[in-house]
Amino acid sequence: MNGTSANALREKSCKPCEGGTEPLERDKVEQTLAELNGWDLDEGGKMIRRKWATRDFKTAVEFVNRVADVAEQEQHHPDLHLTGYRNVTIELTTHAIDGLSENDFIVAAKIDDLPVTLKKEQG
């Protein structure tokens, strides 16, 4: 259990990253990923991704705006996709090092803490 816990990640702040550091090792990535809710590692191992099916368009837009506030506060910015009028996909990678850094997991943990109303299950 060497992954940093979600609680610990939420308490941290992103460090400015302009290259010059190594991406996290695959083991560390997988351990930290296991501490988070619903995030998957992209095939290439350089990006994490989570998808939400929200209640409606407005909910999706409000969620994306809250995510943008987190990104600005942390100065670490995810790729945001709002598709199918209420689905949000968020991808995190550290562009400066072409791989994953702790910053990606800090932002992911903070995003997981944001309120969002999900689509009602059908049937």
Ligand X SMILES: C[C@H](O)[C@H](O)[C@H]1CNC2=NC(N)=NC(=O)C2=N1
**How near is the Cβ of 34 to ligand X at its closest, in Å?**
22
Among the listed residues 113, 19, 6, 29, the one whose alpha carbon sits nearest the alpha carbon of residue 69 = 113
**How near is the Cβ of 80 to ligand X at its closest, in Å?**
11
- Examine residue 18 and tell whether it contacts ligand X (CB under 6 A): yes
CA pair distance 119, 30, nearest whole angstrom: 29
- Examine residue 16 and tell whether it contacts ligand X (CB under 6 A): yes
Among the listed residues 10, 21, 18, the one whose alpha carbon sits nearest the alpha carbon of residue 96 = 18
- Examine residue 96 and tell whether it contacts ligand X (CB under 6 A): yes
Taking CB under 6 A as the criterion, the residue among 76, 90, 105, 109 binding ligand X is 76
- Examine residue 46 and tell whether it contacts ligand X (CB under 6 A): no
- Examine residue 17 and tell whether it contacts ligand X (CB under 6 A): yes
- Examine residue 41 and tell whether it contacts ligand X (CB under 6 A): no
Q: DSSP letter at 91?
A: E
- Examine residue 75 and tell whether it contacts ligand X (CB under 6 A): yes
Burial class of residue 103 (count of CB atoms within 10 Å of its CB; 0-12, 13-18, 19+): buried
- Examine residue 77 and tell whether it contacts ligand X (CB under 6 A): yes
Nearer to ligand X, 112 or 117 (CB): 112
Sheet with 79-83, side-by-side order of all strands: 40-41, 48-53, 87-92, 79-83
Residues that bind ligand X (CB under 6 A): 16-18, 75-77, 93-96
